[in-house]
Structure 1
């Protein structure tokens, strides 16, 4: 059940190989183990994808692909999960990261107005940056570990249920 659900939403293997950003990996993308769907590769893919989804860095897909190759995680799933932070969800997720960072650091929440400029980014690194970056790191670790163990447990549960439904001889 879990395998079929994941297969339905997973990007096409050829589309990943043809992605111009991922061409930097060359023949490494041809490793068949990066495309298998099993409990371990999917759990690692969730950990990788969720970790990089919370990282406020450019080229998240490339970083997730590199980590998937190194960790032998399912490549398309690792890359696809990065898109949890997309232009629609990113403000909410990153604001949540900032709030978590302020909570951990014990500092007051500052009001700020976002501007799409490098000067704003540079200026905000000293004001809201520490809380934001700490929150991103904490939530990236938390959700990657949660994702890994949740997939491991769900996959195992589904396997046990499937075995119990088999006819006994």
Structure 2
């Protein structure tokens, strides 16, 4: 992760987490939601990519008493825009709304390699190598991906396109 993004997340996440915890906490500890920060990969802000990336910060909440193989997902609470070395942070809200429950599944060894070794697409070179990474991310993070799809239609259309078909 970009060190500047990590520093901002470390500073900004606690306030968001506090709002989320307060809104989901009950007197019964079995209904407590354990919130963690999540960050999308860098997504191109233009298509074809021109070097500008946007990262969305959102929250994922585990609710072990009610759901073992999934987590609650919120709408993004912040964005990070990265153009070259210039980073801007924008807070979208303090208490984001839950937008769905994301199921989880184990990743295959090939998927683990893909998920941990790919860099975001900032330029139009090597697009076909990046497509499997973004497709895996979209498929395993469908709730937030679907939420972001209307704002990045050309990017998601590219993810959905199968280059082996004519």
Q: TM-score range by the shorter chain?
A: under 0.3
User: Normalising to structure 2: TM-score of the pair?
Assistant: 0.27
Q: Which has the higher contact order (CA 8 A, sep 6+)?
A: 1
Higher helix share: 1
Give 1 or 2 for the bigger CA radius of gyration. 1
Higher strand share: 2
User: Normalising to structure 1: TM-score of the pair?
Assistant: 0.27
